[in-house]
Amino acid sequence: MKVRTKFLLLLLPPLLLSGLLINYLSGRAVRSTLQKRAAEEARSAAGQALYPDSPVFASGKESRMLPVLYSLKLALNASEAFFVSTDGNILAHTDVAQKGLPLPVFERPLLSGAEYVTDSTVHGGTMYVPVPVFEPAPSDPEELSQLGPGKAARLGTVIVAVPAAGVLAAEKNISDKITLILVAVYAAILLAASLLTGLALRPVRLLTEGTRRIRLGEYGTVIPVSSGDEFGDLARSFNEMSRTLAGTIVSKNYVDAVVDSIVDVLFVTDLKCRITRSNKAAQALLRKKASELDGLDLRPLLSGDGAWPGKCMTALEKDGEVRDYETTLLAPEPFPVQLSASWIKDTEGARAGIVVLMRDITLRRKYEAELARSNEELQRFAFVASHDLQEPLRTVSNYVQLLESRYRQTLGQEAGKEMAFITASLRRMRALVRDLLGYSRINSKLRLERVDSSEALAAVLEGMRGSLSSTGGTVTSGELPVVTADRGHIERLLQNLVSNALKFRGGRRPAVRVEASRRGAGWVFSVSDNGEGIDPRYSDKLFKLFGRLHGASVEGSGIGLAACKKIVEQYGGDIWFESKPGEGSVFFFEIPDKAAKAEEVP
């Protein structure tokens, strides 16, 4: 719909409503004015006619009042005339059957000062006009002076029913003229609005024509600037954009050269996945010419794993793009590819096709396999080395303890201290080897099961009962979730973090709090304490292997937090902390709902 049409359609309802309102209000005003004027004229004429006959109404005799009422009815062309007493009873009526009846309810306001009342039930309408009747003034000047001005007693009221047809005709005539005037005025307003809108929209029409020409490929199109207002600014901006576009548009041959120089496989398809364009890399790998590939369905060229268009099209609809999806291109010699895709949109923003880019990842798969084998060998070596070190360490430790027990008195106090130092060093060495052994086992494939975090924490606290008792620490928890994870990993995470909270208590009685909250597609656990806190500048060192901040003054191998980091990263999560020195610490770790490499435990 055109802007001018929209504007006129928006303007029309308020004009119609205002016209109807003006017509209604003016009609009421005209009707009221005409009825008041007709009532005043009828009252004046009736008053003049009744003035000489006021003694007749003073007599109270119907026989004397009826001739006066009939004469008044004829003189005013009234439908009826009657005399009503001050208490509302009809004393004389041109319809003699009405004598003695009370005045109808709708006419009673005439006795209390109303100028007139109307009765629309009668064809053409009737106006009832009251004329008050007073006692005749005394002829004696002395009595008249004693009575005073305006002191004559009211005898009653003569009510004359005059037809309202003339008033209605005059009202209709005036209303018709008002309607004609309103129609003429509003027609002039609409015509002026249409002309002004057309004049105002002329720059918009020029701009529309310019954009149409650009869409057809006429880059550099310029439209005339006819004003210095906002439309003129818009025209100047359009011309500048058009000139810039003409200077920066690359030719189709240039684009073809860029596309064909890409070493990755590139396809352009329509919305039904039919190939409309392919580069030289795609033609070489598929051993087909461009004309042979045009129109082919891309889906059969990919492995039947549901990736195309199932998963990829779903992601494309949701996110507008697909990035780094691995599948297989079924060329004469199939090979793995990493697929990316996105929408192609036309100049109006509507989807016009899909561009698909595939990168050969055969070498990467080979290197990944070699790296996995190397990591597996390193893990096996670390496990074997740390396991085989346990036995000689135990032997040395046993012989040192045997020497100490047999020759403590012979060797002396100094030798005893050296023996104790050797024993402590061996103990730390065994703990280090044991922690390295546990660290090397983390890389094994996850065995997922439904783990109740509350039960895992209870098991950890049961094993730490001695540490809790010796430090006087307390561990409380909020409502902890059931997560899909390796039970041993959850217990080790909680044990390492709670153990650190008890260990680095800063001379205080430890108070540890374990909580969890839902965040995104996973759970974030927090372990907070009231200990000595950590300086944030050590955050990079804290989660590294052997990253100790207290040296040998505090027990530990420096592997605990590194192990926590390795466990969490195996799930695709993260671990971090918030702390201020002297104000305690809060460690957070995230367990996503789906782990990267896992197998369910039946």
Residues 478 and 543 in one domain: yes
Q: Do 262 and 129 fall into the same domain? A: no
Four-CA torsion 488, 492, 493, 497, nearest 10 degrees: 160
248: left (phi over 0), alpha (psi -120 to 50) or beta: alpha
Closest CA to 400 of 416, 368, 371, 423: 423
Among the candidates 135, 163, 191, a domain finishes at 163
User: Contact at 8 Å (CB) between 530 and 501?
Assistant: no
**Helix 165-215 vs helix 230-248: angle between axes, to the nearest 10 degrees?**
20
**DSSP track, 296-336:** -BSGGGB-SSSIIIIIHHHHHHHHSEEEEEEEEE-SSS-EE
Q: Which of 563, 570, 577 is nearest to 592 (CA)?
A: 570
How many C-beta atoms surround the C-beta of residue 411 within 10 A?
A: 14
Q: What is the pLDDT of residue 527?
A: 92
pLDDT above 90 covers a percentage of the chain that reads 7
Residues 332 and 436 in one domain: no
Q: How many residues does the chain have?
A: 602
Q: What is the pTM of this model?
A: 0.39
Nearest to 111 by CA among 98, 95, 93, 129: 129
Residue 526 · residue 512 · CB < 8 Å: no
Q: What is the pLDDT, as a whole number, of residue 382?
A: 63
Rounded Cα distance between 301 and 368, Å, is 25
Q: Are residues 7 and 156 in the same domain?
A: yes
158, 50 contact by CB (below 8 A):
yes
The span from the CA of 418 to the CA of 416, in Å, is: 5
* Domain match, 538 and 510 both: yes
Answer whether residue 175 is part of any domain: no
- DSSP-derived letter for residue 95 is S
214: in domain = no
- Shared-domain flag, residues 468 and 340: no
Q: Is residue 356 part of a domain?
A: yes
pLDDT of amino acid 515 = 94
**Beta strand extents in 194-281 (DSSP E only):** 265-269, 275-278
Q: What is the spatial distance between Cα 602 and Cα 449, in angstroms, rounded to a whole number? A: 8
Which range marks the domain in which residue 45 is found? 3-163
Final residue belonging to a domain, choices 163, 191, 221: 163
Question: Would you say residue 240 lies in a domain?
Answer: no
Sheet holding 575-579: strands in order across?
474-477, 511-518, 522-528, 585-592, 575-579
CATH number of the domain to which 377 belongs: 1.10.287
Burial 309-330 (b: 16+ CB within 10 A, else e): beebbeebeeeeebeebebbbe
Where the chain has pLDDT below 70, the residues are 1-4, 122-124, 137-152, 200, 217, 219-220, 226, 230, 245-254, 304-310, 375, 378-379, 381-391, 393, 407-409, 411-413, 416, 421, 424-446, 538-539, 545-558, 594-602
Q: Which residue has the tokens 């990079």?
A: 540
H-only helix segments in 51-107: 54-59, 62-76
Q: What's the confidence (pLDDT) of residue 482? A: 92
| Same domain assignment for residues 18 and 140 | yes
Residues 6 or more apart whose CB falls under 8 angstroms from that of 95 comprise 80, 82
Residues 458 and 552 in one domain: yes
pLDDT value of position 596: 45
CATH code, 462: 3.30.565.10
Residues ≥6 apart with Cβ < 8 Å to 286: 293, 301, 331, 332
| CATH, residue 314 | 3.30.450.20
| Cα angle 568-573-574, degrees, rounded to a multiple of 5 | 80
Asked if 569 and 593 count as a contact pair (C-beta separation under 8 A), the reply is: no
| Residues 594, 467 within the same domain | yes
Total domains, the chain: 4
Tokens of 486: 């390796």
Longest Cα–Cα distance of the chain, Å, equals: 166
How far, CA to CA in Å, does 74 sit from each of 70, 77, 79, 127? Answer: 6, 5, 9, 16
Specify the residue for token string 């009815």.
Answer: 73
In a shared domain, residues 324 and 395: no
Indicate left, alpha or beta for 288 from its phi (over 0: left) and psi (-120 to 50: alpha). beta
DSSP sequence for 417-480: HHHHHHHHHHHHHHHHHHHHHHHHGGGSPEEEEEEEHHHHHHHHHHHTHHHHHHHT-EEEE--P
Helices (H), 62-139: 62-76
Which two three-digit tokens encode residue 107? Answer: 């006419």
In a domain, 197, yes or no: no
The verdict on 435 and 467 lying in the same domain is: no
DSSP 332-366: SS-EEEEEEEEEEE-TTS-EEEEEEEEEE-HHHHH
Please tell me whether residue 48 adopts helix, strand or coil conformation: helix
Of 526, 541, 476, 530, nearest to 506 by C-alpha is 530
Q: Looking at the structure, tell me whether residues 325 and 436 fall in a common domain.
A: no
Asked if residues 40 and 76 have their Cβ atoms less than 8 Å apart, the reply is no
Which distant-in-sequence residues (6+ apart) come within 8 Å of 262 by Cβ?
279, 281, 357
The tokens 């600014």 sit on which residue? 233
Of 420, 444, 468, the domain-final residue: 444
Tokens of 386: 């740390």
Joined together, the tokens standing for residue 428 give: 């730390």
Q: Answer yes or no: is 383 within a domain.
A: yes
106, 150 contact by CB (below 8 A)? no
Residue 131 lies in a domain: yes
Question: Helix or strand or coil: residue 585?
Answer: strand
Residue 242, domain member (yes or no)? no
